[in-house]
Homo-oligomer: A and B are copies of this chain.
């Protein structure tokens, strides 16, 4: 193997523990010894063996970030912030892709008991609140995203209902009246869709406007494109569409433009997530921008607090900020009829 404390101690002519003390910055080491040890350390280019340290300390210095899929831009962008925030705590991040499968979400949680990771930041899709509550292990767990509110673990997310209402009101404010919601989900498993739908419904009901709802199986471009095609095929076509995420919106945009219609003149379009793609599409996409850096930081901080044992109380709910970003896809005001 590599160079161990023992090798350094031998060279410096001190005990192993003294070297350990120097390495860990223990206070009471005489300047002379410290210098001697440090010379030996750099001479041998000592690196602590983290497996050994972890065994001794019962920590791994690694946390897991479990996401449905890394190649959805929203999650990729979020991951970046989580990795950066974790790096500040000197944590490494292993990324696990669950594909939303229950089995894989369970496996991730088991990872804590395997001592592979100290804690988990999970963006849950399939696993239920009851199952999470029933966990016997004392794994540090932070839930990220919209799936489970007031559940059995610390949780951070934006206020989805309010965000969806804001978007819908923005579309109404443009003078649009036939506003469709695109992204509802049949299976009530996913928690995101109902919340965003609720926000849409609230805003529409407040103005007494009719609601049109298009369902999807997943939150990917292809689904957005297909759902939009269905909306266009209906007798009464919408003059605005609120898509429950940006990928759906970009797929929908593709369908609208391919049909020879204009965005926003014929159909205004808004999404949610603020992925980079939407900043460079033609037209650029109006969206809700969650503060992803803040989301990531809060998630990491919650985890840190649990691991340090500073917080032992009940699960904490934290709301992250967001803002509405108006771009070309909803530009210009159409006079109210």
A198 close to chain B: CB less than 8 A: no
Task: Tell me the nearest residue of chain B to A77, going by C-beta.
Answer: B71
Knowing that A95-B95, A221-B280 touch, tell me 10 more A-B residue pairs with CB under 8 angstroms. A2-B113, A49-B115, A62-B62, A70-B80, A76-B76, A92-B116, A251-B280, A254-B281, A254-B284, A281-B282
Of B61, B73, B96, the residue contacting A71 (CB under 8 A) is B73
Residues on B with C-beta less than 8 A from A276 are 71, 221
Interface string of A161-191 (1 = CB under 8 A from B): 0000000000000000000000000000000
User: How many chain copies does the complex carry?
Assistant: 2
In the complex, per-residue mask of A238-251: 1 if CB is within 8 Å of any chain B CB, else 0: 00000000000011
In the complex, which residues of chain B have a beta carbon less than 8 angstroms from the beta carbon of A284?
254
- Measured in the bound complex, the distance between the Cα atoms of B59 and A49 in whole Å is 11
Asked if A93 is at the interface (CB within 8 A of a chain B CB), the reply is yes
20 chain-A/chain-B pairs, Cβ below 8 angstroms: A47-B113, A47-B114, A47-B115, A48-B114, A50-B115, A51-B58, A55-B55, A69-B80, A71-B73, A71-B76, A71-B80, A73-B73, A92-B116, A94-B95, A221-B280, A222-B280, A254-B280, A254-B281, A254-B282, A258-B282
**Which residues on B sit within 8 Å (CB–CB) of A222?**
280
Cβ of A329 under 8 Å from chain B: no
Cα separation A279 to B254 with both chains bound (whole Å): 10
Is A62 touching B110 in the complex (CB atoms < 8 A)? no
If A55-B52, A282-B254 touch, whether A97 touches B80 (CB-CB below 8 Å) is: yes
A253 CB contacts on chain B under 8 angstroms: 282
| Contact across chains for A70 and B83 when beta carbons are under 8 A apart | yes
A54 proximal to B (CB < 8 A): yes
Residue of B nearest to A74 (CB): B71
When C-beta atoms are compared, the residue in chain B nearest to A110 turns out to be B47
A51 near B115: Cβ-Cβ < 8 Å? yes
Which residues of chain A from 88 to 104 have any CB-CB distance to chain B below 8 Å in the complex? 92-97
The CA of A93 and the CA of B54, in the complex, are separated in Å by 18
- Cβ of A267 to closest chain B Cβ, rounded Å: 14
Q: Does A84 contact B (CB under 8 A)?
A: yes
In the complex, residue of chain B having the shortest beta-carbon distance to the beta carbon of A76: B76
B97 and A94 within 8 A (CB): no
Taking a contact as CB atoms under 8 Å apart, the answer to whether A62 and B280 are in contact is no
Is the beta-carbon distance between A114 and B50 smaller than 8 angstroms? yes
Q: Name which of A58, A113, A115, A221 has the most chain B CB atoms within 10 A of its CB.
A: A115
Q: Is A79 an interface residue (CB 8 A)?
A: yes
Within 8 A of B (CB), among A15-58: 47-52, 54-55, 58
Residues of chain B within 8 A of A10, CB atoms compared? none
What are the residues of chain B within 8 A of A280 when measuring CB–CB? 221-222, 225, 250-251, 254
Contact with B along A114-138 (1 / 0, CB 8 A): 1110000000000000000000000
Closest chain B residue, CB of each to CB of A254: B280
CB of A203 to closest CB in B, whole Å: 28
